[in-house]
Structure 1
């Protein structure tokens, strides 16, 4: 009976016959007593507390928080303070706490200075300014402002912010690396790539790559790298650089669903081009020819008559602009004539030549407007094809109107013809011929535009899709589209969200249909981001500042 009671104190039998152990008692630890101050000790704030000597800063374990142990420490390491009056111990404790507060304050100041250093470095990088500007201008200006508007103490604190050229360079590199790591970490099984190559002011070939990927709420795009091509710029050389970047970031070519480039031989060569090398790694990768490049190529050709007029006007402009004296005299001439503009307005008795020049000015203005509309971030093949298609419809309208000698669609030409006695027939033939060739060239560079646009109407707006267009899709997708088009909640989101945000939202409820739509929206339609990077590079890398670290 006694042995049974002894066993039951440690365990008990549950209803199923299993033995459950008793809960262990909570661990005990020693408490700090205020009298320990007279032995030279305070305590830490951790749990369990530790004894902290305020003479030397040494910490003793909680188990050592006994008067005998503390007395031993005082006698062996601080014997000069044994038997000192209580006031001395209290004063030493007060000094110790004061020094701790100072250290804590200094640590906080250093952390804030580091944070400020990163923030200023980011501003310098975004402004495309030399890194030396932070130390040479920004910091002195901030010190002057603080001393004038606040006080000298605030100015002294600002001086602790590290903003040297090397510090800013390190901050920018660190932030750039961290951002790329975050982007790579968000990549799913499919992403698209945008690539382009250009030569900088130093004569070095620079290769820029951007990624586009689907995140939790939208499609995002971000730079992957900007690297120099050390030797040639062949397709193989470009592939080696891109492949090295993929390996460095643990990216797989199988996940690269599409790539957008220009049509240079180094990119599209059937045997040695970049795309050919990529297809060896991923045969399913889709290549997109940059829409902006195609628009520029389609707009480039013109009839010999218009080409001669353009060349003549360029020669006149070069003569005027090549010498400052000519430019000043030309300005004075225009001012004396009461002209609206004072630069590069041409005056000649050849009215036929001027009429055609007016047309060139008008049509180039319209082409420039189209080109500008194709630029920008977050574009897809859908909206760029819409803009090109709209331009072609307007070009057809212009051709029909000009064939009837109605030139109101070209304002400068119309004003000139209204004020001058010009034979309109030859001008009409040249303009109609040029517009006809322009339309043909656009159709040549965008052969699949109308067909592909029609096929993707369900992506543009699943709520206005005609039955005929819906029937072109597999039955499984038709079923899902009918569900989506009948969902009033999704219809409200379609009005509130961007197209990409909407389909990411649809993917959560209808994975297959949402994924199919995102596959059409994910590819880059142009190399605008690369071109914008090269434009920024011309600002950053000048003749006086031709290294990336300055």
Structure 2
């Protein structure tokens, strides 16, 4: 309509009409068609990139939407010839059971529909659920029966959270803090409102409210403890004013120095764990980056243990600020156990450590049997040619200069000369691997924002299309979509 009016207009007399027409909203069907067209264009680019890629990895996770339908998110990481991409391959609804067999059949159906090969999958990362990592009936074990080269990995972020699970006395302390927070916030809306008013009137109040803790949310435990300690004086004052019987019990806990030392210790250690968690989160993280962060934190735990043993508390500021700041054997034992958990969980990866170390620092890495290790990782690798390339690669000054000037590890390997084709193939094999299910978790947040209670009648296909348009980093070719599009007639 706008195009016709602009063609008919010989002067400015039609400007008002044209402006009015531009304000006419599109119909619901038009908006749906536009989203479908954009999603199809993006999906086509993804499938084209996967067909040309030598390898790609999958990140798979499952979450329930607000209509109680289990949605399985399948992300793919691959190199498209220019850059590494992390894109949504499919959002698969699981309306019945979510067993390993059902998940595998659904995934196989998607691969068959888009003519994708399981043989190109180098790694599949999941949340560690039995349906995913079950030894005999899990998704990964079923995939390995078809594609022997496929590796399985339990999301590194999930594993780091599992390492810090509380038990015994410290769990009791954490539960007690949560009960106090729930007493203030959840007993009644009036009580919560009065506490917020007390905090707002306090001159020393640094925050306006306490935070609730949820095990599903990775950072909430540390943040809830941090906020609790920051508002400790206000919490005590509020409990003194309360006439409820439970308030006296809570106040007695807060006045016990040993209990509060444990609370301060948990606040500090979970603050450090939250810092690690934030470093592991984000798109574009490689398995090399994640392994490096994990190894660094394991060494930091040694420092924390020494810091506690000497009583200097350089890395435990909240504990040090306590009246006594007493270090107990319970705290030292927790650090020791945490360190042991990290070592045991991250000692063996599905990809050999030497391979990961080489990709991170290819010039200084030395290993006598490295070529045979590379051959085990990539069975089709020409070991003799790889050995010759490796000598040239590590002795050429051009490679050394390129490594120094590269802005990132990805940039170095992408610009590396094709003269070292087997070395590049090994590096790209590792760099295309997902280290975590972060992309799936963030996609679920977008999914919940799209499929709300007001829009709970979205079809599964419409939801997938909306989500793909929302989370993609690919810019669709609008001009091509318009050129190839068909006019919609009213009859």
Q: TM-score range by the shorter chain?
A: 0.7 to 0.9
1:500 Cα deviation after fit: 2.5
- Aligned counterpart, 1:480: 389
Q: Do 2:2 and 2:21's aligned partners in 1 also have CA atoms closer than 8 Å?
A: no
1:198/1:497 CA distance change after superposition, 3 Å = same
Q: Do 2:385 and 2:422's aligned partners in 1 also have CA atoms closer than 8 Å?
A: no
Q: Do 1:462 and 1:481's aligned partners in 2 also have CA atoms closer than 8 Å?
A: no
- Aligned counterpart, 1:54: none
- Aligned counterpart, 1:270: 135
Distance 1:481 1:509 in 2: 11
Deviations 1:79-128 (A, max 9, x none): xxxxxxxxxxxxxxxxxxxxxxxx9963998xxxxxxxxxxxxxxxxxxx
1:455/1:284 CA distance change after superposition, 3 Å = closer
Q: Is 2:159 aligned against 1:294?
A: yes
Distance 2:368 2:356 in 1: 10
1:523 Cα deviation after fit: 1.4
Which of 341, 357, 372 is matched with 2:278 structurally?
372
- Aligned counterpart, 2:311: 405
Distance 2:449 2:2 in 1: 43
1:220/1:108 CA distance change after superposition, 3 Å = farther
1:326 Cα deviation after fit: 1.6
Q: Which of 1 and 2 has higher RCO (CA within 8 Å, sep 6+)?
A: 2
TM-score normalised by structure 2 residue count: 0.75
Which of 417, 427, 446 is matched with 2:346 structurally?
446
Distance 2:319 2:391 in 1: 51
- Aligned counterpart, 1:396: 302
1:428 Cα deviation after fit: 2.6
1:189 Cα deviation after fit: 3.6
Distance 1:304 1:272 in 2: 34
Q: How many residues align?
A: 400
1:497/1:332 CA distance change after superposition, 3 Å = closer
Which of 49, 70, 86 is matched with 1:186 structurally?
49
1:234/1:318 CA distance change after superposition, 3 Å = same
Q: CA RMSD in A?
A: 2.8
- Aligned counterpart, 2:438: 528
Deviations 1:418-462 (A, max 9, x none): xx246x2xx331211110111111112112269944443221122
Distance 1:451 1:183 in 2: 26
Q: Is 2:4 aligned against 1:106?
A: yes
Q: Is 2:213 aligned against 1:307?
A: no
Q: Do 2:2 and 2:18's aligned partners in 1 also have CA atoms closer than 8 Å?
A: no
Query: Which stretches in structure 1 are left out of the alignment for 5+ residues?
Result: 1-102, 110-146
1:284 Cα deviation after fit: 2.1
- Aligned counterpart, 1:506: 416
- Aligned counterpart, 2:69: 204
Which of 323, 336, 339 is matched with 1:436 structurally?
336
Q: Is 2:39 aligned against 1:176?
A: yes
Paired residue secondary structure (1:544): helix
Q: Is 2:452 aligned against 1:546?
A: no
Paired residue secondary structure (2:416): helix
Paired residue secondary structure (1:407): coil
- Aligned counterpart, 1:226: 91
Paired residue secondary structure (2:455): coil
1:281/1:421 CA distance change after superposition, 3 Å = closer
Distance 1:192 1:450 in 2: 13
Which of 171, 176, 184 is matched with 1:320 structurally?
184
Q: Is 2:216 aligned against 1:216?
A: no
1:198 Cα deviation after fit: 0.8
Q: Do 2:65 and 2:451's aligned partners in 1 also have CA atoms closer than 8 Å?
A: yes
- Aligned counterpart, 2:376: none
1:193/1:107 CA distance change after superposition, 3 Å = farther
- Aligned counterpart, 1:250: 115
Q: Do 1:217 and 1:505's aligned partners in 2 also have CA atoms closer than 8 Å?
A: no
1:527 Cα deviation after fit: 0.7
- Aligned counterpart, 2:225: none
Which of 65, 83, 103 is matched with 1:238 structurally?
103
Q: Do 1:217 and 1:501's aligned partners in 2 also have CA atoms closer than 8 Å?
A: no
Query: Which stretches in structure 2 are left out of the alignment for 5+ residues?
Result: 211-230, 237-253, 373-383, 464-491
Structure 1 ranges of 4+ moved more than 6 A? none
Return 194-203 or 279-288, whichever deviates more. Answer: 279-288
Distance 1:408 1:510 in 2: 47
Paired residue secondary structure (1:174): helix
Paired residue secondary structure (1:510): helix
1:108/1:276 CA distance change after superposition, 3 Å = farther
Q: Do 1:458 and 1:470's aligned partners in 2 also have CA atoms closer than 8 Å?
A: no
Deviations 1:170-228 (A, max 9, x none): 11112112211121112224221111111111100001101111222222221101121
1:412 Cα deviation after fit: 1.2
- Aligned counterpart, 1:360: 266
1:329 Cα deviation after fit: 2.5
Distance 2:99 2:17 in 1: 59
- Aligned counterpart, 1:457: 357
Q: Do 1:295 and 1:442's aligned partners in 2 also have CA atoms closer than 8 Å?
A: yes
Work out which of the two has the higher radius of gyration on C-alpha atoms and give 1 or 2: 1
